[in-house]
Structure 1
Amino acid sequence: MVHEPRSQTGLSRNSDTEEIVALAELDPESWSAILAPRLAYFAAVARAEHVTRAAHQLQAPQSTVSRALVRLERDLGVDLFARHGRTVSLTAAGRTFLATVERALGEVERAAESVRADADPESGKVAFGFLHTMGSETVPSLIREFRADHPRVRFTLVQNYGEWMLEHLRSGELDLCLTSPVPDAPDLVARRLDEQRLRLVVPEDHRLATRKRIRLAEAADETFIMLEPGYGLRRITDDLCAEAGFRPRIAFEGEEAETLRGLVAVGLGVALLPPPAVPRKGVVELTVTGQRAVREIGVAWLKDHPDTPPVAAFKRFLLTRKGRLLSFSPAGV
């Protein structure tokens, strides 16, 4: 009877020819797929200096641990252990390898703890994006109300423009976002929650400042201050001006609505903006008539993407705010 060769510890060397051929053909960058499942076994045996005790600690069959070690040494092409009867000790190569393996396993453990913590129903995390104009009043009030029932849920808050947030939804960096216009894309789910009336903002000494209402066409000859292309409000403004029969003459482009309002206040032009959280001196805000000058606010998330419990809870909360999302705003809607 022919027996397979055995190591000094009696660990069986199952020389599976097909596996050896497959390993030989692997790109070195793919070795992690072969080595990774065996690293925890290696670290446990290195700490215990005994295969049986390590297997008991791991709650794994001794034969499974033994085979994993033999294959690990064979795949690396080095001896990681010196054998002393029923005990083992690390070789110089084994000590070098163990130092890196323990760091890697520690990182994996920390990553596992982190994702488990983020998914915890009571104290998990929500990555939430929203428009700059919603940062001073709307979002703080929403989170305060939500945390009345979920006091330990944590938030990562990100302010940016709509298209940026949608890309970060797609990449998985955001769970939910409040944006405008409400997106219509096959890979996203979006629900309209509320709308804001847009106002024509003019300097307080402007020729139109004594008016309360205005048709946008009456501002066709004005110099406009707008958000940069790519912002949802910029697209809405361009569309409303086109509907009113003119193409606006643009003097300044910016990234934040209150900065635009400040430029209006010093007489550099007019702007079509949502109402401010706090009224600003130096400007008059006129109601636009003759067309539906509004921006819709919606919540969006990635289609078919599973929610953690805290994300699901916050999503349900936002959906219950339909028609009331901005109801607490001191400037109104």
Structure 2
Amino acid sequence: MEFRQLQYFVKVARKQHVTQAAEELHVAQSAVSRQIHQLEEELGVQLFVQKGRNLQLTSVGKLFLCRVEAIMTDLERAINEVHEFMDPEQGEIRIGFPHSLGIYLLPTVVARFRETHPRVKFRLRQGTYNSLIRDVVKGEIDLSFISPFPEKHNQVTGDLLLLEELYAIVPQEHPLARNEQIRLEQLKNDSFVMFSEEYSLRSIVLEACTKAGFTPKIGFEGEETDTIRGLVAAGMGVSMLPEMALTEISQLQPSKVRVIEPRVTRSVGLIQRSGDKLPLVAEGFRKFLLEFFIHRS
């Protein structure tokens, strides 16, 4: 069994398509098919079944994928540790983040860190609350920004970085658009543009509306802050977004209004796998972030 076979197997399993896997691997489709066939022959099992134009993992294929991904992650980490040992300033940091922190916060801290560590590389992964925790637990990323910060979790640990205020956003022609502050209940008759169910900001907004004494009417749903902001600016409803998600100026710009009752905040933290020792370069970035947010507060 060769390392290349495992690489090809993982890529085909993720893409569910030999042609697409071959394109990403920059090899011929026949080479990928041949390596997968040889791997199946060596194992004596069928790893994939054809379903339409796609390939799907068999039950034993899914089991094998879990083990192979763990091996690949450990091998990648071992390679990084060797590079760090030779030169700690040349390592790679694998970090996850939710979309709402990718607009301003993530670029800011990465750029600041690279001012003094210019040769450090970053591998970034965007995800939802649950997917980011899963990726940290599986060892696919070293660190992750997360919101809300999980105070108690069996498999991850970390540090609370900040509490961020959420603002109401309304179309510029809305009757409350020129107000400096409002009570959330003043929006109870409006249609809300809400995040999809897998996003933690949705539950924060729903909980705030419940505290204000009403259940919001949901007119539209989206998956990114830019989409939410754009729909509100276009007059499709109202919503609530974190302050950092409102820093960018665009052509479609809603009005931002402070909510004083109830005051709505979200916690933002940094997590890593419990009981795990971070690579040197990732530990250095973690310490930099803690110092950065102490001085920011």
2:257 paired residue number: 286
Point out the more displaced range, 280-289 or 256-265.
Answer: 280-289
- Structure 1 contact 198–272 (Cα < 8 Å) conserved: yes
Measure how far apart 1:137 and its partner are: 2.3
Q: Residue 182 in 1 paired to residue 149 in 2?
A: yes
Q: Output the TM-score relative to the length of structure 1.
A: 0.62
Q: Residue 245 in 1 paired to residue 245 in 2?
A: no
* Letter in structure 1 aligned against 2:249: P
- What is the CA–CA distance in structure 1 between the aligned matches of 2:295 and 2:170, rounded to whole Å? 28
| Cα shift readout 1:125-163 (whole Å, capped 9, x = no counterpart) | 110111212223221221121122222111101122222
* Letter in structure 2 aligned against 1:136: I
1:297 paired residue number: 268
Within 5 Å, give how 1:286-325 maps onto structure 2.
286-324=257-295
- What is the CA–CA distance in structure 2 between the aligned matches of 1:195 and 1:323, rounded to whole Å? 12
Q: Output the TM-score relative to the length of structure 2.
A: 0.69
- What is the CA–CA distance in structure 1 between the aligned matches of 2:158 and 2:266, rounded to whole Å? 15
* Letter in structure 1 aligned against 2:112: E
| Cα shift readout 1:244-272 (whole Å, capped 9, x = no counterpart) | 11111111111101110100011110011
- Structure 1 contact 194–298 (Cα < 8 Å) conserved: yes
Measure how far apart 1:177 and its partner are: 0.8
1:116 paired residue number: 82
Q: Which stretches of structure 1, 4 residues or more, deviate above 3 A after TM superposition?
A: 110-115, 279-282
**Structure 2 residues not aligned, in runs of 5+:** 3-71
* Letter in structure 2 aligned against 1:208: L
Secondary structure of the equivalent of 1:200?
strand
- Structure 2 contact 81–279 (Cα < 8 Å) conserved: no
2:225 paired residue number: 257
- Structure 1 contact 163–232 (Cα < 8 Å) conserved: no
Secondary structure of the equivalent of 1:198?
strand
1:154 paired residue number: 121
- What is the CA–CA distance in structure 1 between the aligned matches of 2:184 and 2:294, rounded to whole Å? 26
Task: State the percentage of identical aligned residues.
Answer: 33
Within 5 Å, give how 1:158-173 maps onto structure 2.
158-173=125-140
Secondary structure of the equivalent of 1:148?
helix
Secondary structure of the equivalent of 1:206?
coil
- Structure 2 contact 84–90 (Cα < 8 Å) conserved: yes
Measure how far apart 1:323 and its partner are: 4.6
114 and 316 in structure 1: CA distance in 2 versus 1, 3 angstrom threshold? closer
- What is the CA–CA distance in structure 2 between the aligned matches of 1:262 and 1:208, rounded to whole Å? 18
Secondary structure of the equivalent of 2:159?
strand
- What is the CA–CA distance in structure 2 between the aligned matches of 1:113 and 1:137, rounded to whole Å? 31
- What is the CA–CA distance in structure 2 between the aligned matches of 1:157 and 1:285, rounded to whole Å? 30
* Letter in structure 1 aligned against 2:141: L
- Structure 1 contact 203–209 (Cα < 8 Å) conserved: yes
2:60 paired residue number: none
* Letter in structure 2 aligned against 1:295: R
| Cα shift readout 1:200-242 (whole Å, capped 9, x = no counterpart) | 1000111221322111111111100111112111111111111
- What is the CA–CA distance in structure 2 between the aligned matches of 1:324 and 1:253, rounded to whole Å? 36
201 and 300 in structure 1: CA distance in 2 versus 1, 3 angstrom threshold? same
323 and 285 in structure 1: CA distance in 2 versus 1, 3 angstrom threshold? farther
- Structure 1 contact 194–323 (Cα < 8 Å) conserved: no
Secondary structure of the equivalent of 1:211?
coil
Count how many residue pairs are aligned between Structure 1 and Structure 2.
220
Q: Greater helix percent: which structure?
A: 2
- What is the CA–CA distance in structure 1 between the aligned matches of 2:138 and 2:146, rounded to whole Å? 17
1:52 paired residue number: none
- Structure 1 contact 131–160 (Cα < 8 Å) conserved: yes
152 and 222 in structure 1: CA distance in 2 versus 1, 3 angstrom threshold? same
- What is the CA–CA distance in structure 2 between the aligned matches of 1:118 and 1:175, rounded to whole Å? 14
Question: Match for 1:274 among 208, 219, 242?
Answer: 242
| Cα shift readout 1:62-99 (whole Å, capped 9, x = no counterpart) | xxxxxxxxxxxxxxxxxxxxxxxxxxxxxxxxxxxxxx
Measure how far apart 1:172 and its partner are: 0.6
Name which one, 1 or 2, has greater alpha-carbon Rg: 1
| Cα shift readout 1:11-56 (whole Å, capped 9, x = no counterpart) | xxxxxxxxxxxxxxxxxx9xx9xxxxxxxxxxxxxxxxxxxxxxxx
Q: Residue 136 in 1 paired to residue 136 in 2?
A: no
* Letter in structure 2 aligned against 1:155: F
Secondary structure of the equivalent of 1:186?
coil
**Structure 1 residues not aligned, in runs of 5+:** 1-28, 33-106, 328-333
- Structure 1 contact 223–248 (Cα < 8 Å) conserved: yes
- What is the CA–CA distance in structure 2 between the aligned matches of 1:319 and 1:246, rounded to whole Å? 38
Q: RMSD value over aligned CA atoms?
A: 2.3
